[in-house]
Amino acid sequence: MALDLTILVGTMTGTAQLVAQALELALDDGDARVTVRPMDGLAADAFAGGGLFLICTSTYGQGDVPDNAKQLYESLQNERPDLADVRYGVIALGDRTYADTFCNGGRRFDAALAACGARRIGEILCHDASAGTMPEEVAEAWVGGWIALAREQLQLTA
Ligand SMILES: Cc1cc2nc3c(=O)[nH]c(=O)nc-3n(C[C@H](O)[C@H](O)[C@H](O)COP(=O)(O)O)c2cc1C
């Protein structure tokens, strides 16, 4: 049975969008029905109705979410909707050069979603831009395991 997955993209210079598009292609084999949505203009009601989400976001400033993600992030914090029917994963893009705030954008979304009762599937995938690996390749290698975990937790059989 195909999974419905929405990938929400927080990005400043497009890397997270590339990662999301690579995942959309990689999963486009009947395994999952993927919708990629830039976070621009979104608010907490983007999670209304629940479902399966991947937060794919970079980090800027003092460990902040990127500009296009701010409205969604603040809306989650201010409105605190009940997201008990939301399951999510996090792909956090960052750079270890920023040692104190490494991948904080993704970690912030994780904390905000958990505070609303949403449940994370698997560990956060943190990508280090200074590691010399391509984030889309790392994410593609990771996502199969994450989808398998999601199926397990949602009790869907292939
Ligand atoms: C001005 C600036 C500030 C950044 N601040 C952080 C940071 O605090 N923590 C971190 O882990 N990465 C930080 N990064 C790294 C980016 O999050 C990383 O390069 C990411 O891959 C960019 O993805 P994007 O193109 O989707 O925005 C920063 C990058 C820039 C250019």
- Can you give the pTM of this predicted structure? 0.97
Ligand 1 geometric centre to CA of 73 (Å):
17
DSSP 115-132: HTT-EE-SPPEEEETTTT
What one-character DSSP code corresponds to residue 65?
P
Gap between the Cα atoms of 81 and 103, Å rounded: 24
User: pLDDT tens for residues 108-157?
Assistant: 999 999 999 999 999 999 999 999 999 999 999 999 999 999 999 988 65
Residue nearest to atom 4 of ligand 1 (CA): 60
User: pLDDT tens for residues 64-93?
Assistant: 999 999 999 999 999 999 999 999 999 999
Mutate to test the pocket of ligand 1, among 95, 96, 110 (most ligand atoms within 8 A of CB): 95
Closest alpha carbon to 58 in 100, 21, 109, 99: 109
Ligand 1 geometric centre to CA of 59 (Å):
5
The domain made up of 3-154 is a member of CATH 3.40.50.360? yes
Segments making up each domain of the chain, as ranges:
3-154
